[in-house]
C-alpha cells in the first residue's frame, strides 16, 4: 500500500477542490420574517372577541360557585342544629343577623333571637345576604303536596327528636305542615344571584341555585 499522496492546491484553489471545479459557494443563512402589523391586529381582534364571550360566562360560574358554597355552609349548620337538638333533647333554633355588614347565621342555643358568644356561627361572603323575600320563581319541592312552604320569615327550629318546626312562642310543633326554603342573595355587578337551602319535613336539607331558568 502506498501512502496517499498529499493534495497540493493550485494557486486560487481551495483545499478539497478538484481541478476544473469552481469554488463551492456556501449558502447564506436566510432571514426569518416576523409577523406583520396587520397579522398582529387580526390576532388581537380574534382574542378580544373570544374574551368578550368567555369572560361573562366565567364570571357567572365564579359567582354561582361562591353562592353554592354559602348555601352548603348554611345547609351544614342546619344539619348540625338538627343533630344537637336530638342529642341534647332540646329545642334549638337558627338565627340570622348582620354584624359589621357581614351576614351571619348561628344555632341559637337559648332561643334568644340573637347569636351569642359560644354559639355555633357561620359568616357569609360580604356580598351574600339572607333574602328579604322569595324570588319571582320560588323553589318547589317535588313530591311534597302539603301546600305549605315556610320561607325566611319563619324561624326554623328543631325539636327534641331533631325534626324541623316553625318555631314560635317557645313552641316547636312537629311534624311541620310543610317544608322550609331559606333564600340567599348574591349581590353581583348589575344583577342578583339566587340560592336556597331546602329543609324537608323529615329534616333533610339540600342546596339549590337558580341558573336563570331553573333551580338546580
According to DSSP, the residues that pair with 108 across neighbouring strands are: 93
Q: Is residue 95 part of a domain?
A: no
Q: Is residue 22 part of a domain?
A: no
Q: Is residue 72 part of a domain?
A: yes
Using CA atoms, how far apart are residues 103 and 97, in angstroms rounded to an integer? 6
Q: Is residue 12 part of a domain?
A: no
Q: Is residue 103 part of a domain?
A: no
Q: What is the pLDDT of residues 148-179, one digit of tens each?
A: 999 999 999 999 999 999 999 999 999 999 99
Model confidence at 2, pLDDT cuts 50, 70, 90, reads very low
- Helical ranges in 2-158 per DSSP H: 37-88
Q: Is residue 191 part of a domain?
A: yes
Place of cell 342555643: 109
**Mean local confidence (pLDDT), 79-102:** 97
DSSP 96-116: EEEETTEEEEEEETT--SS--
The three cell numbers of residue 22 are 469552481
Look up the domain containing 189 and give its range. Answer: 39-88+126-209
Q: Is residue 44 part of a domain?
A: yes
The secondary structure of residue 163, as a DSSP letter, is -
75 phi, psi to nearest 5 deg? -60, -40
Q: What is the pLDDT of residues 52-73, one digit of tens each?
A: 665 667 678 889 999 999 999 9
Buried b vs exposed e over 38-62: b needs ≥16 C-beta within 10 Å? eeeeeeeeeeeeeeeeeeeeeeeee
Q: What is the pLDDT of residues 99-149, one digit of tens each?
A: 999 999 999 999 999 999 999 999 999 999 999 999 999 999 999 988 899
Q: Is the per-residue pLDDT at 6 higher than 50?
A: no
Q: Is residue 216 part of a domain?
A: no
User: CA of 77: how far to CAs of 85, 137, 172, in Å?
Assistant: 12, 25, 19
Using CA atoms, how far apart are residues 166 and 163, in angstroms rounded to an integer? 10
CB 208 within 8 A of CB 193: no
Q: Is the per-residue pLDDT at 85 higher than 90?
A: yes
According to DSSP, the residues that pair with 94 across neighbouring strands are: 107
- Note the pLDDT of residue 5: 47
The three cell numbers of residue 1 are 500500500
- Number of structural domains in the chain: 1
Amino acid at each position: 500500500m502506498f501512502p496517499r499522496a498529499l493534495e497540493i492546491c493550485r494557486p486560487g484553489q481551495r483545499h478539497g477542490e478538484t481541478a476544473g471545479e469552481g469554488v463551492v459557494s456556501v449558502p447564506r443563512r436566510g432571514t426569518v420574517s416576523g409577523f406583520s402589523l396587520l397579522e398582529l391586529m387580526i390576532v388581537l381582534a380574534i382574542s378580544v372577541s373570544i374574551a368578550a364571550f368567555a369572560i361573562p360566562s366565567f364570571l357567572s360560574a365564579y359567582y354561582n360557585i361562591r353562592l353554592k358554597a354559602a348555601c352548603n355552609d348554611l345547609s351544614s349548620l342546619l344539619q348540625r342544629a338538627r343533630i344537637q337538638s336530638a342529642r341534647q333533647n332540646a329545642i334549638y333554633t337558627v338565627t340570622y343577623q348582620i354584624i359589621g355588614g357581614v351576614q351571619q347565621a348561628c344555632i341559637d342555643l337559648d332561643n334568644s333571637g340573637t347569636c351569642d358568644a359560644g354559639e355555633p356561627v357561620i359568616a357569609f361572603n360580604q356580598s351574600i345576604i339572607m333574602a328579604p323575600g322569595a324570588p319571582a320563581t320560588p323553589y318547589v319541592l317535588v313530591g311534597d303536596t302539603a301546600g305549605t312552604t315556610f320561607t325566611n320569615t319563619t324561624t326554623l327550629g328543631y325539636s327534641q327528636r331533631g325534626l324541623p318546626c316553625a318555631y314560635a312562642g317557645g313552641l316547636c310543633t312537629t311534624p311541620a305542615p310543610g317544608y322550609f326554603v331559606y333564600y340567599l342573595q348574591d349581590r353581583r355587578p348589575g344583577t342578583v344571584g339566587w340560592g336556597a337551602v331546602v329543609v324537608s319535613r323529615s329534616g333533610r336539607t339540600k342546596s339549590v341555585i337558580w341558573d336563570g331558568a331553573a333551580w338546580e
